[in-house]
Structure 1
Amino acid sequence: MMVQHDLNQALQRMRAKNITLTPQRYALLKFLYAQGSYTTVKDICEALIVKYPHINAMTVNSSLHVFKQLGLVRELAVIGAALRYEAAICS
């Protein structure tokens, strides 16, 4: 499956840069790669809070920042709206 392949590439890139893969980061990456389109921090928090009750916007933002540095996610600024994110590795 393409999504799994892209996710695996993202995980390999994290390993190569010695970035710690916490369960929350893994869940966040998995969520982003499953979306196939842009999503907001609010949407991410709502999706992940069921499994990770302690997750919050700050945690998500810091992970997204790391992912952005690695080229794993793209950020889209929309005037008058929240920043949006999408998975960046596509086969």
Structure 2
Amino acid sequence: TDRLEASNAAQFRSDLDKVWNPNIRQVLVDCQDLDFIDSSGIGALLSIQKRLKLGAAPVTLMHAKPGVISVIELLRLHRVFAMQNN
């Protein structure tokens, strides 16, 4: 989807629940097709970070577009999520 927002954040979390394994130590999220994210979408991404074990690598957001990066930086979440754009 091109948007992660209130209308689909619950489905995103549900999909994650179906595949989650407690031994996961790193999560890469490909944001290449993501054009928009709102507070519900941010909450869904933060829920992934909370699930990771202490000391694990942060959630890495890959290929995020400028608009999504702006939201992440505005909320100072670039300190929480690793960003990779290559």
Structure 2 length-normalised TM: 0.30
Give 1 or 2: higher helix fraction: 1
Give 1 or 2: higher strand fraction: 2
Structure 1 length-normalised TM: 0.28
